[in-house]
Chains A and B, each alone.
Chain A
């Protein structure tokens, strides 16, 4: 199959899966609470509906090629950073540091990926933003809670921009024998990590009893964790043919990014709980904000990127 056929086949399967999910959701709603509100089922249906939009957005981006994917993830970063900073305590003195984060660091990161300058996009935020942002805040002359403010702005940029940017950065990797098929690598990452979230949700709702981290997340269960990670590792293994991996390699990589994805969800839950909110925002009906949806990808993408860069590129 050509990469184009593989991509179409993949999106066709996802579309079919969504049709089935939509039908199941509507049938459940019809039998259990037709015409009445039902917290779990209404949320389930809202989530499934939102998946149509998200898959549609990714499909459009794929149709736009490299530029489309970079634009989509630049927007994801923008929405995520906006949610992160909204929930963060900042002061007047942070105004220029924040303006720089949104209007310079974010576009520059994606521009550097566009021109494929690995040496710069891999250090722009961890090195240069790390140094320049606190300078801007210090020059503004406000020392109140300084270290805390500087750390939070830096952390927001790392998670929302630097980490997420590793998804389109996959397009810049030169993998021998895998030319023209990079989009499928992105599809693999997103499918495995996002399906792990979905499987964890399903396993947790059906069989979840013991909370895995009650102090941090009220919804993550031990049963959901194992069921979700096992299911998605299987899915990742079955998808080895769209990647440059052998089946056993695909299994190990899928397992690792699922673990990272779970950890990402846990870390972001800890921040939400500390701030006293349930969701990061309201952008995606049923899911919450952008960060609620991409927290797992944030943590999985850099690891996935570097594993491939280390072992699969010359």
Chain B
């Protein structure tokens, strides 16, 4: 009981802090914020990305939306473990599963989808610190689309968080962030892996503001 209260309090504080610093605003361009099992796939530039996306969801949807995060980073300290496992109920995956022998990330995500929850994933696989707007996608998104055609795949562009908290910096700069939700995509009939991943990547890029 007390534990749940603490978890809820920490979640509210983290969301409140993210709001205060970034004034984060969800822009629902291609779909509505309703109950619907989804995989939100977003660009990834900061450890705070999933917090921002999560904050942009209506509170009612947050409980059933779980971020997918790398266990190598998030299991390193007790605080991180508490935040990621207890507060955000993240689905932890091992990106190095081929060497470590732990479960295949796609299997782990599919199991989580079995429970009816929505997921937040970052198909670039790692934080993007390059000048490129978006790195090439890893294949997990395709496997999810193939295995669960009933789940909506929603592209989500997170704008500006890379400037708020670049990789390796400790002090966040308060800048306004927006989280844009695009139109869901589905695997088309006889669409191959490369074509699908390309189309998904383009759908995500289409949400990004123009470059100046």
Contacts and interface: CB of A to CB of B under 8 A. Distances in A.
B173 A95 contact: yes
Contacts of A85: 173, 175
A99 B25 contact: no
Contacts of A86: 160, 175-176
A276 interface: yes
B208 to A, nearest CB: 14
Given A89-B212, A276-B212, A102 B166 contact: no
Nearest to B159: A86
Nearest to A98: B173
A158 B166 CA distance: 25
B163 A283 contact: no
B176 A82 contact: yes
Contacts of B171: 95, 99, 103
A36 B25 CA distance: 26
Contacts of B169: 95
B173 A282 contact: no
A83 B169 CA distance: 21
A98 B171 CA distance: 10
A78 interface: yes
Contacts of B184: none
Contacts of A275: 212
Contacts of A89: 212
Interface residues of B, number: 13
A90 B169 CA distance: 15
Contacts of A90: 163
Interface string A289-310: 0000000000000000000000
B55 to A, nearest CB: 16
A83 B175 CA distance: 7
A102 B164 CA distance: 12
Interface string A72-97: 00000010001101100110100100
A98 B172 CA distance: 10
Interface SS of B by simple majority: loop
Contacts of B23: 82, 281, 283
A86 B212 CA distance: 13
Interface SS of A by simple majority: helix
A230 to B, nearest CB: 37
Interface string B160-196: 1001001001010111100000000000000000000
A96 B210 CA distance: 26
A86 B22 CA distance: 10
B157 to A, nearest CB: 15
B137 to A, nearest CB: 24
Nearest to A78: B174
Contacts of A92: 166
A283 B171 CA distance: 24
A95 B164 CA distance: 9
Given A90-B163, A95-B169, A276 B175 contact: no
A276 B210 CA distance: 10
Interface in A244-297: 275-276, 281-283
A82 B166 contact: no
A254 B160 CA distance: 40
Nearest to A79: B23
A99 B212 contact: no
A38 to B, nearest CB: 23
Contact of A102 (B25, B174, B210, B212): B174
Interface string B12-37: 00000000000101000000000000
Interface string A220-238: 0000000000000000000
B212 A82 contact: no
A54 B171 CA distance: 31
Nearest to A274: B212
Contacts of B176: 82-83, 86, 281
A103 B163 CA distance: 16
Contacts of B173: 85, 95, 98-99, 102
- Which of A86, A95, A99 gathers the greatest number of chain B CB atoms within 10 Å? A86
Contacts of A78: 174
Contacts of B160: 86
20 contacts: A82-B23, A82-B174, A82-B175, A83-B176, A85-B173, A85-B175, A86-B175, A89-B212, A90-B163, A95-B166, A95-B169, A95-B173, A99-B171, A102-B173, A102-B174, A276-B210, A276-B212, A281-B23, A281-B176, A283-B23
Given A82-B23, A95-B173, A276-B212, 9 more contacts: A78-B174, A82-B174, A90-B163, A95-B166, A98-B173, A99-B173, A102-B173, A102-B174, A283-B23
Interface of A: 78, 82-83, 85-86, 89-90, 92, 95, 98-99, 102-103, 275-276, 281-283
